[in-house]
Amino acid sequence: MAEYLLDAKGNGQIFAVQKTICKESSAWQTIEISELELLGRVLALDGIIQLSELDKDGCHETITHPVLQASLRTPNSSAEILILGGGDGIIASEVIKYAGVGVTIVDIDARVVELCAEHLSDLNNNALTSKSTKVLTMDALEFTCTAPRERYDAIFLDITDPHPESPSSSLLSSKAIRDYKSLLTPGGVIVCQTDNPFVTSHHRQQMRKLFGDTFSTVGEFGITALTFAGVFSFVWASDYHQELVFDESMITTKWLTAERFEFCKKMLNLA
């Protein structure tokens, strides 16, 4: 049995561990990849589970496809997508299912990328070594200083809950959000994962305010996920799009449907 945190305050869950595949400390955080009885293979950073085999499709299909489809002008459009964080490669694996779409991952922790390429290849479909994926191991804020303006059609903020000791603590300031916006095309969309709204409600509220100060439209959606103690939330923003939808005719998915996404857009009303 092992305890995994849900936040930096000590709240957590206990799962039966079948096998610890690797566990080490990088320059930035502790990294663990294990097999758990209920969740299957998981990635945990600083003791907080970031993803699981059980909920991978529900989480990553839902955050990726409605946002990406809004950014594509036609089903066959080319697009450039930026993922800040996301060193596990799973959002990237969903993005590159679209022909003509390139993706850049910027993750500060090279060791996360290396271990996920080795041990999560079945979950990320080898996206970290795909010719469609560019991986940069550097600070996201440094990247934004030199990245071309108005280059990216969608930006995914796939970063850990920004508690003070987290390597992502500086990535969600007002200035950072303005800098990210400068990288978006005029019709672009940005989205951030905002954790369990019952456990870390401040994160969701913070992102709604930060996005609302910078973009004309802010929306949110959620999913059910045992991995994150029942519920997980996402906040998105755009100056062009006023609503997100999911078009099943554009892509084949394992979990997400148009009907399910309409429910995802409403479920956080219960939080």
Provide the 3-class DSSP secondary structure of residue 267.
helix
Name which of 229, 163, 160 is nearest 13 in CA terms: 229
Residue 85, H or E segment: strand 79-85
First-last CA distance in the chain:
30
Q: Note whether 130 and 162 are within 8 A (CB).
A: no
The single residue of 46, 55, 158, 195 carrying the catalytic annotation is 158
Q: Note whether 214 and 178 are within 8 A (CB).
A: yes
Distances (CA, A) of 25 to 8, 45, 46: 18, 9, 9
Provide the 3-class DSSP secondary structure of residue 151.
coil
CB atoms under 10 Å from CB of 133, counted, come to 21
Q: Note whether 69 and 77 are within 8 A (CB).
A: no
CA distance 124 to 208: 29
The secondary structure of residue 194, as a DSSP letter, is -
Alpha helices in 82-173 (DSSP H): 90-95, 110-119, 121-124, 140-146
CA distance 215 to 130: 33
Instruction: Reply yes or no on whether 109 is catalytic.
Output: no
CA distance 137 to 117: 14
Catalytic residues: 158
